[in-house]
Structure 1
């Protein structure tokens, strides 16, 4: 029987960890695979540690580490044939493992499921999650995959060199782009999606998460400088400068020019929103996505400035 080790980094995930671990165990049973759950606890102060242990997980306490180092620590404990990473707020469908195994047999090296949000999530959380999903419902070969759920052979991870141990965010992009550069194939499966239960429940939470997500961009650029990674900071800077110019024109009572400049500030967000939604043919969704991307570009600029002074 093939074996699988599932690594789950966790910090204060008591509301979600039972659902995550139970769904993983059910998927392993459905695939006829023996499974070990390895939870790496990053200093939880809630009941998550005890809840994970009660479900049979091996819980290792590792406070103070960045998320990439947590995943590396968990992977170092795995001796199974296959290795998977799950975020502690993800619920996987029953056929998660069988679908991933089929994809590995078809020549892919790393496989993930698209992630959706539960129906009760607020519109901004649903819209933001949906942007990363397939617009056609078909699998997509990608340059990198988010680490909400990743599945691979253990030997693949060993060859990769692991996650960057110091990045506070963006370690999945760094990991995936290195795999891509090494010629490894990465596949995102559209159906059925995993569910992300740790969705944002307030605007403040959404903005704080984006501030955190973009906080490692300077580190990423230092790690692997290139035009692709440079595009986002440049878009952030362009959007903020045109927004400030629009505000100054408005304060000077030059309304037509202010409106024109504001429209210019929307252009980068509009291009990205259209690229991520054009095939859906849902104008309302595209408009919602435009608003969120416009806000994200401003937040990204703030995150970049903050990271320069760390």
Structure 2
């Protein structure tokens, strides 16, 4: 029997060897391990069963999402005899760091006003690609009070139930959105200065990065319709650098050759500012230069993601999950 009073909800879809590693890292660390499968065609379910997990297989006749999977896992864990008061959510491409569950539970028990705690993710193969490096930098945010976080989190079951869990209609940004709702409901959230999970992004191709960035743009738009104040700066940057400046450059070229040059100058200025910001965040010079290039380029797939959301929303069509693996 685990020493912690925490249940783990692990979600996945065709994660392969990454899921096997995640199951091995989670096994024996919590009171109960629940695995939620979203229509995998590999051996994911068999691997989870072999690891002793309680299996939940989603009905794939209904559109699936990570939010729906986490909700189903939470309900399955809480439906058991003597459910744990705290639930740790992790994704199938993440390995839990030993000691995190004890630290997270202790912090939640110290403060009844905390709805959730999270920690730091880090990339297992950080230097396998520039894309993995960017993920690793993205995961490492300052510790302390927060208003939202990623999908790896330990939640107080009472708080999760109070806000109705995650929004299953969200196919991206669902983790940040529930944090915002918890915060607005008067709960507090906190990032602890501790390692929580080891993530295996396995993004080695430009196409994978592009689709992941399209997904981020979709989140900017969809979450923004629910919480207009959130992602406001991100949406503004996408519209300026992904849409307005290119249109100005193209239209202006018929008026003066200097207009496209001026537009390129604005892109260069934005790039250099991004480099400076990453250098202040202690990234090595070479990484700051390469990361900034992709961050500048990201406004175009972000724009596609935002447009995709609005196209489906205005047509009253259900959003479709955007996979990048």
TM range (shorter): 0.7 to 0.9
Greater shift in the superposed pair: 266-275 or 229-238: 266-275
Q: Mind listing any 5+ residue stretches in structure 1 that lack a counterpart?
A: 29-33
Q: Match of 1:93?
A: 97
Aligned 8 A contact 1:118 1:197 in 2: yes
1:192 Cα offset (Å) = 2.7
Note if 1:175 corresponds to 2:178: yes
Q: Match of 1:74?
A: 73
Aligned 8 A contact 1:85 1:150 in 2: yes
Aligned 8 A contact 1:2 1:81 in 2: no
Instruction: Measure the CA separation in 2 of the matches of 1:156 and 1:203.
Output: 39
What is the correspondence of 1:217-256 to structure 2 with a 5 Å cutoff?
217-226=220-229, 228-240=230-242, 241-246=244-249, 254=257
Give the alignment's TM-score, normalised by structure 1: 0.86
Q: Match of 2:286?
A: 284
Aligned 8 A contact 2:118 2:196 in 1: no
Note if 1:158 corresponds to 2:145: no
Note if 1:110 corresponds to 2:116: yes
Q: Mind listing any 5+ residue stretches in structure 2 that lack a counterpart?
A: 78-82, 313-325
One of 309, 312, 325 as aligned partner of 1:307: 309
1:229 Cα offset (Å) = 3.0
Q: Match of 1:84?
A: 88
One of 293, 296, 303 as aligned partner of 1:294: 296
What is the correspondence of 1:126-275 to structure 2 with a 5 Å cutoff?
126-134=133-141, 139-147=143-151, 149-226=152-229, 228-240=230-242, 241-246=244-249, 254=257, 257-267=259-269, 274-275=276-277
For the residue of structure 1 that corresponds to 2:197, the secondary structure is strand
Q: Match of 1:39?
A: 35
1:90 Cα offset (Å) = 0.4
1:35 Cα offset (Å) = 1.9
1:269 Cα offset (Å) = 5.9
CA RMSD of superposed structures (Å): 2.5
Q: Match of 2:318?
A: none
1:9 Cα offset (Å) = 1.7
One of 11, 18, 21 as aligned partner of 1:19: 21
CA separation of 1:277/1:153 partners in 2, compared to 1, >3 Å: closer, same or farther? farther
For the residue of structure 2 that corresponds to 1:288, the secondary structure is helix
Aligned 8 A contact 2:115 2:182 in 1: no
CA separation of 1:168/1:281 partners in 2, compared to 1, >3 Å: closer, same or farther? closer
1:218 Cα offset (Å) = 3.2
1:246 Cα offset (Å) = 4.0
1:38 Cα offset (Å) = 1.0
CA offsets 1:273-302 (integer angstroms, 9 cap, x no match) = 655652326333332232122122111111
Give the alignment's TM-score, normalised by structure 2: 0.82
For the residue of structure 2 that corresponds to 1:290, the secondary structure is helix
Aligned 8 A contact 1:71 1:85 in 2: yes
Instruction: Measure the CA separation in 1 of the matches of 2:274 and 2:159.
Output: 32
Aligned 8 A contact 2:173 2:223 in 1: yes
Greater shift in the superposed pair: 39-48 or 116-125: 116-125
Instruction: Measure the CA separation in 2 of the matches of 1:263 and 1:193.
Output: 41
Instruction: Measure the CA separation in 2 of the matches of 1:94 and 1:2.
Output: 12
Instruction: Measure the CA separation in 2 of the matches of 1:116 and 1:250.
Output: 45
